[in-house]
Amino acid sequence: MGYRNYISMIKKEDFVEGQDWWEYKDEIVELHELGKYIDSEIRDGLIVESEKFAEDGEFDIINIESIPHIVSCYAKSFKKFLESLKEGTNRIYTSESYIEEQIRRWTDADSLIYNIKKDQDKLVSSWEYQYEIFDLIRIYKTFDVENCHLLWLGH
């Protein structure tokens, strides 16, 4: 499947059972892009409240408690990465090359990890789990569960 995966939202008042993604696309607000390849542990651990599959897109309504599950999986993956650096078993980085990469990313104005733009809610400009966790926690703490559905969306 060539989908990118997103955590998105739709207002409950805009949600009508039986409509497909294309009918919702103007009401759906993207909150966080998770990327193309998702560990099965993440997908299998989501608390799905309602599944909806459409021909050109799919989404599940998920419970807000799915967010701590994703955070936990990301933290576990990052810890495993750090252990591979410590043990010298990482195929891409050594401890030293990883530190150099981080120094470059925190120095180079074009590759900063954080997003400081006031007109955007997103805190992070990185695909790295250790930083994405912060945006996921922001979503978890601020999401309006009374008035909105949280969606796991692929398109």
Query: Is residue 64 within 8 Å of 80, Cβ to Cβ?
Result: no
Instruction: List Cβ neighbours of 102 (8 Å cut-off, separation of 6 or more).
Output: none
Which pTM does this prediction carry?
0.86
Q: Integer distance in angstroms from the first to the last C-alpha of the chain?
A: 9
Listing DSSP states for 69-100 in one string gives HHHHHHHHHHHHHHHHHHHT--SS--HHHHHH
Q: What string of pLDDT tens digits covers the 155 residues of the chain?
A: 457 889 999 999 998 877 777 778 789 999 998 888 888 899 889 999 887 654 445 788 999 999 999 999 999 999 999 999 999 999 999 999 999 999 998 898 777 788 788 888 888 877 788 999 999 999 999 999 999 999 998 76
Number of domains in the chain: 1
How far is residue 43 CA from its own chain's centroid? 12
List the one residue out of 71, 74, 5, 69 whose CA is nearest residue 35.
5
What is the DSSP pairing of strand 29-35 with strand 5-11?
antiparallel
Length of the chain as a residue count: 155
| SS3 (DSSP) at 8 | strand
Distance CA 47, CA 57 (A): 20
Its domain, for residue 47, covers 5-154
